[in-house]
Amino acid sequence: MDSKNNTRILEIFLLGFSKDPELQPLIFGIFFSVYLTTMLGNLLIILATVSDAHLHTPMYFFLSNLSFVDICLTSTTVPKMLVNIQTHSQAITYAACIIQMYFFLLFAEMDNFLLAVMAYDRFVAICHPLHYMVIMSPQLCVLLVLVCWILSVLHALLHSLMVLRLSFCTDIEIPHFFCELNQVVQFACSDTFPNDLVMYFATVLLATTALAGILYSYYRIVSSLRAVSSAQGKYKAFSTCASHLSVVSLFYCSGLGVYLSSAVTHSSHASAPASVMYTVVTPMLNPFIYSMRNQDVKRALCSLFGGKV
């Protein structure tokens, strides 16, 4: 039986945002600038947390991990798109497409888990301040991050192996700027029901579990703050969560918006511009969100460059 699963000669084309050659320099300039900003901002956060002893706390340990993951997430998709624009080629090999898909799923899921872990860290800091350093020990922090990596690796590996079992009868033209899982599966000429089942089950299980953990943590935080009589005390406690809440809102609202809108409209072409928000814009904004109102990070950055606060 010849299923024509000719992955060795299969050609995949990433159509990106526009076929208009006059728009390509503009698209290249925008994404190149965003990519450099993302790299610089997140690298500064990592350098600041490593170089300043005052930032050697669980909160900033998780933040530096988030910055590293954001660098990796953006680097998985944007450089290939920039190269394609420069070389006037939309092609990507089958193997490169699977690898890109794997690492995108890995780092996107890491973002998901790290945001949940950071919410737990804020819960312990506000609800159990006297026992914070005992509960959030270095061993537990490393263990939490390690568990996040293991779950993310297994999640990405599962989806990638599920895609490898599919047959593709023709060349693929993906209306996206990277090999997104849903887009690739749509072009399979074999039965995709197992893939769809695993895809939706894993999304519901992992994404909603992490989001439920975040919501529960903040429910406990709000409940705890209700017992604080001082308005200033409430503001000071909750202000430590403002940056995390902003990042959570950006990540989940943009990510869920993309998948819900694509499920309702069934439009493949609409998902590419929408995906930019959580795959490119959010990693770029995270360093600004965490440093804008954070005096500790500002002090560390000033110290890093030999300045004064």
Which CATH number covers residue 74? 1.20.1070.10
4 belongs to a structural domain: no
Question: What would the two tokens of residue 68 be?
Answer: 């590293």
Average pLDDT over residues 113-118: 96
Alpha-carbon distance of 199 to 154, in angstroms, equals 13
72 belongs to a structural domain: yes
Alpha-carbon distance of 77 to 285, in angstroms, equals 17
Residue 113 scores a pLDDT above 50? yes
SS3 142: helix
5 belongs to a structural domain: no
Residue 189 scores a pLDDT above 90? no
C-alpha closest to that of 291 among 124, 90, 63, 103: 63
Beta strands in the chain (DSSP E): 11-14, 91-93, 172-174
Domain interval for residue 190: 11-304
Alpha-carbon distance of 51 to 304, in angstroms, equals 7
Mean pLDDT of the chain, nearest integer: 86
Place of tokens 């860290």: 121
270 belongs to a structural domain: yes
Exposure string for 280-304, b = 16+ CB within 10 A, e = fewer: bbbbbbbbebbbeebebbebbbeee
Note the pLDDT tens digit of each residue in 28-78: 999 999 999 999 999 999 999 999 888 899 999 999 999 999 999 999 999
Note the pLDDT tens digit of each residue in 247-297: 898 888 877 766 665 555 545 556 677 788 878 988 999 898 888 767 788
220 belongs to a structural domain: yes
Distance between alpha carbon 96 and the CA centroid of its chain, in Å?
A: 20
Res 239: pLDDT: 75
pTM, entire model: 0.90
Q: Domain tally for the chain?
A: 1
Q: Is the Cα dihedral 104, 108, 111, 114 positive or negative?
A: negative
Res 179: pLDDT: 92
3 belongs to a structural domain: no
| Helical residues (DSSP H) of 128-207, grouped into ranges | 132-135, 138-164, 181-186, 193-202
Indicate the length of the chain as a whole number: 309
